[in-house]
Amino acid sequence: MSAVSSTNVTVLVDDLLAEEGASRGALPAHGLGLLVECTLEDGVKRRLLVDGGPSRYVLEHNASALGLELKALDAAVACLWSSHHVAALLDLARHKRPWRSLYMPPLPKAKPGGPSRLREFPALLVPMCSPVYNERALLISSPRGYVAVVACSVYGVEVALRALETILKKLDGGLAAIVGGFNLSTLDVYGLRLLSKYAKRRGAEVVPLHSTSLEAREKLARTFGLEEVPGVGTEVEVA
């Protein structure tokens, strides 16, 4: 697979609507669904669906509202066994299967194994210390380092960051952005400070979603100079 010339992440499912999603008639839902598109240097485009939220209807409705299609996907990845992350994927698997490969997490309490690369997409699955849910993060290639996707951080943002940093050190790779659910509220002063310091040290943008409270999202948006609080319709482009 050739090098990546651009990486784009679009939020299809989230608890909140960004302005773009609201103006196009998208729906909020408790959960997470991301469409990731990478353009390779040879011009080939790769498409990956990450989680999908609690409802296939909401996922497909929001994709249509945002002018995107959920077909001809190279792969789909579920990050953890929780209905608001995998229900839409499981429904799609029963009815349409719009992907070449579906990567599901190990069953709860099973041994998670080590990091593994996707065959069809320029990304690496990163196991986290999550003995019940077997949550996984993703490191997706981009021209300016990796884009990290963390779905929910069910065992806390510190656990998620530690898992990412362990792999990044082995890869000797940079970090362009951290996107996803951080399991944070403004009451977690330590967690917010830890995430902010880590991202700034790595020179990475932070896009808080799903398991991050509205107030915590607002604070992180101000800290990292985002134009608005992220939600359905938000796009992250790394080129």
Domain span at 171: 4-238
Domains in the chain, number: 1
Average pLDDT over residues 118-135: 93
Q: Tell me what pLDDT residue 75 has.
A: 97
Confidence of residue 129 (pLDDT cuts 50, 70, 90): confident
Q: Residue 1 above 80 pLDDT?
A: no
Token pair belonging to 202: 């790595």
Of 70-74, 129-133, 147-151, 155-159, the least confident: 129-133
Angle between helices 56-65 and 83-95 (to 10 degrees): 80
Handedness of CA 203, 6, 13, 114 (dihedral sign): negative
Q: Tell me what pLDDT residue 111 has.
A: 84
Extended strands (E) in the chain: 4-13, 33-40, 45-51, 73-77, 99-103, 116-117, 123-127, 136-142, 145-150, 175-181, 205-209, 235-238
Confidence of residue 2 (pLDDT cuts 50, 70, 90): confident
Q: Which of 207, 201, 70 is nearest to 151 (CA)?
A: 207
Q: What is the pLDDT of residues 162-211, one digit of tens each?
A: 999 999 999 988 999 999 999 999 999 999 999 999 999 999 999 999 99
pTM of structure: 0.96
Confidence of residue 132 (pLDDT cuts 50, 70, 90): confident
Query: H/E element holding 16?
Result: none
Radius of gyration over alpha carbons of the chain, in Å?
16
Q: Share the mean pLDDT of the chain.
A: 96
Q: Tell me what pLDDT residue 45 has.
A: 96
Any idea what the CATH number is for the domain that residue 202 is in? 3.60.15.10
Which 8-state DSSP code applies to residue 233? T
Q: Tell me what pLDDT residue 49 has.
A: 98
* Helix %, strand %, coil % of the chain (to 5): 30, 30, 40
**C-beta separation of 177 from 205 below 8 A:** yes
